[in-house]
A = this chain, B = another copy of it.
Amino acid sequence: MEAPVQFKGARDRFSGVTISSEEEPASPQEFEAVLQASMSHWMEENIRGVWFKVDLEHADWVPVLVKHGFIYHHAQPQFVMMVKWLSVNEPNNIPRYAHNVVGVGAFVVNDQDELLVVRERFHTRPHWKLPGGYVEPGEDLGTAALREVKEETGIDAEFVSLVSFRHVHGANYNCSDIYFIVHLRPITQRITMCQRELTACEWMKLQEYVQHPYVHETNRFFAERFLECRRNGVKIQATNIFSPAFRKNQVIYSINSKVEKESINEKAENSSIDTQSLMNGDAKL
């Protein structure tokens, strides 16, 4: 009888191996034999952890992997990633998958000191909120805010700074939720409201917003913080720095240092990153 073929997989620097069902497909009939032969081999080779990336079309692998002690690690729409820790000498130290949902609220203030505010279609009580939404994979915070403002209100804007952010636990899918408030300066003024998501959208005097009864406590706090920071000439700016560890550019958010200069010349704000570089994800030192 011919010995079953073994999975090749891709090795990583943590003595792990990852098998992709797309790259090494196996029929439901042959999968279990190939798995067993491979596992024996990996044990002999002191592989610490085995990963299976199982595409939708090979979903019949999943119950077999569970039978052999695999558990889930994470999933994307088209695949599930399963893992088994083999080492008996070391505890399983595989980091968890992401469990923080990240969203942005756009704090768009025009030259008349008016804030762009919206009413969402699906809600239980009246409120004036900030346009915004979830950050897409690979998206910077400023880019996400500009995209959401454009989608919901039709307004074009440019990134200025962060105002603040909120962290809360036990939100959607039982994840923690980080919500960044992004200060934008509008380039256009005419509102084209997204009818699907909103029932109202307008420019409201900032001072009115801070006192409005339909503004939730959290948004009132954000607005008060914005006004205080503007008075004091401080902000959370964005700077692009090349990361040798990641071998790519990263955005660093930190308080600007030019306190006095900024407070004197508030209009000529200089964030150290411009809108276009945020939009393109460009390298910029």
Minimum distance in angstroms from A145 CB to a CB of chain B? 13
Inside 8 A of A165's CB, which chain B residues have their CB?
252-254
Inside 8 A of A232's CB, which chain B residues have their CB?
234, 255, 257, 259
A48 within 8 A of B: no
Interface residues of A in 89-124 (CB under 8 A from B): 95-102
Inter-chain contact B246/A234, CB cutoff 8 Å: no
Inter-chain contact A164/B225, CB cutoff 8 Å: no
- A171-B246, A218-B241 given as contacts; is B56 within 8 A of A71 (CB)? yes
A80 within 8 A of B: yes
> Measured between alpha carbons, how far is A245 from B166 in the docked complex, in Å?
13
| Chain A interface helix/strand/loop/mixed | mixed
Q: Which of B59, B139, B218, B235 contacts A62 (CB 8 A)?
A: B59
In the complex formed, the residue of B with least CB distance to A285 is B217
Minimum distance in angstroms from A158 CB to a CB of chain B? 19
In the complex formed, the residue of B with least CB distance to A250 is B168
Q: Which of B73, B134, B169 contacts A75 (CB 8 A)?
A: B73
A214 within 8 A of B: no
A178 within 8 A of B: yes
Chain copies in the assembly?
2
> Measured between alpha carbons, how far is A225 from B88 in the docked complex, in Å?
44
Q: Which of B98, B141, B163, B250 contacts A218 (CB 8 A)?
A: B250
Inter-chain contact B241/A217, CB cutoff 8 Å: yes
Q: Which of B164, B174, B241 contacts A255 (CB 8 A)?
A: B164
- A171-B246, A255-B164 given as contacts; is B63 within 8 A of A60 (CB)? yes
> Measured between alpha carbons, how far is A71 from B234 in the docked complex, in Å?
46
Inside 8 A of A228's CB, which chain B residues have their CB?
255, 257
> Measured between alpha carbons, how far is A231 from B257 in the docked complex, in Å?
9
Inside 8 A of A281's CB, which chain B residues have their CB?
169
Inter-chain contact B255/A172, CB cutoff 8 Å: no
Q: Which of B57, B71, B167 contacts A250 (CB 8 A)?
A: B167
| 12 additional A-B residue pairs with CB within 8 Å, beyond A100-B100, A164-B254 | A73-B75, A80-B80, A97-B175, A98-B99, A102-B178, A135-B176, A165-B254, A166-B243, A170-B248, A216-B245, A217-B242, A221-B239
Please, could you name 10 A-B residue pairs with CB atoms under 8 Å apart, sorted by A? A56-B66, A60-B63, A72-B76, A73-B75, A96-B134, A98-B102, A102-B178, A168-B249, A216-B244, A228-B255
Minimum-distance CB pairs A-B, first 8: A164-B254, A72-B75, A168-B250, A59-B66, A75-B75, A59-B63, A228-B257, A98-B98
